[in-house]
Amino acid sequence: MLFDPVKFIEEVKPQLEQIVDGKAIAAVSGGVDSTTAAALAYRILGDKVIPVMIDTGFLREREAEKVKSMVGNLMPLQVVDVSEKFISELEGISDAEEKRKKFRELFYNTLSELVKKYNAKYLIQGTIAADWVETQGGIKTQHNVLVQLGIDTERMWGFKVVEPLADLYKNEVRDLARYLGLPKEIYNRQPFPGPGLLVRIVGKVTKEKLELVRKATKVVEKYLDSMDYSQYFAVIFESTSSYEPEISKGVGCDVYTYTAKATGVKGDVRAYGRIAKVECNNKDYEKLRKVMEKITSYDITHVTVKVGEDNPEGKYTIGIRAVLTQDFMTAEFAKIDWEFLEKMESEISSLSKNIKEVVYDITTKPPATIEFE
Binding site for ligand XMP (CB under 6 A): 134, 140, 142-144, 191, 193-195, 231, 328, 365, 369-371
* Separation between Cα atoms, residue 149 and residue 156, nearest integer Å: 14
* Separation between Cα atoms, residue 63 and residue 85, nearest integer Å: 18
**Partners of residue 27 on adjacent β-strands:** 52
Asked, as a colleague might, if the bond just before 191 is cis with ω within 30 of 0, I would say no
29 has binding-site annotation? yes
Nearer to ligand XMP, 35 or 144 (CB): 144
* Separation between Cα atoms, residue 101 and residue 99, nearest integer Å: 6
30 has binding-site annotation? yes
Helix 5-19 crosses helix 32-45 at what angle (to 10 degrees)? Answer: 70
Side-chain-facing half-sphere of 290: CA atoms under 13 Å? 10
Q: 49-55 and 24-27 as β-strands: parallel, antiparallel, unpaired? A: parallel
Min dist. Cβ of residue 90 to ligand XMP (A): 14
Nearer to ligand XMP, 77 or 323 (CB): 323
Min dist. Cβ of residue 373 to ligand XMP (A): 8
Min dist. Cβ of residue 153 to ligand XMP (A): 16
* Separation between Cα atoms, residue 186 and residue 188, nearest integer Å: 6
Nearer to ligand XMP, 53 or 253 (CB): 53
112 has binding-site annotation? no
* Separation between Cα atoms, residue 32 and residue 169, nearest integer Å: 11
47 has binding-site annotation? no
Side-chain-facing half-sphere of 215: CA atoms under 13 Å? 14
In terms of Cα–Cα distance, which of 311, 271, 360, 41 is closest to 176?
41
Min dist. Cβ of residue 92 to ligand XMP (A): 20
Min dist. Cβ of residue 76 to ligand XMP (A): 23
297 has binding-site annotation? no
* Separation between Cα atoms, residue 371 and residue 24, nearest integer Å: 30
Min dist. Cβ of residue 269 to ligand XMP (A): 13
* Separation between Cα atoms, residue 138 and residue 361, nearest integer Å: 23
Nearer to ligand XMP, 144 or 349 (CB): 144
Nearer to ligand XMP, 198 or 247 (CB): 198
Min dist. Cβ of residue 11 to ligand XMP (A): 24
Nearer to ligand XMP, 256 or 273 (CB): 273
* Separation between Cα atoms, residue 40 and residue 58, nearest integer Å: 26
Min dist. Cβ of residue 346 to ligand XMP (A): 27
| 324 three-class SS | strand
Nearer to ligand XMP, 231 or 257 (CB): 231
SS3 track for 138-154: CCCCCCCCCHHHCCCHH
In terms of Cα–Cα distance, which of 46, 1, 56 is closest to 26?
46
In terms of Cα–Cα distance, which of 321, 309, 322 is closest to 356?
309
Nearer to ligand XMP, 60 or 365 (CB): 365
Residue type, 170: K
32 has binding-site annotation? yes
Binding-site positions = 29-35
Binding-site positions for ATP = 29-35
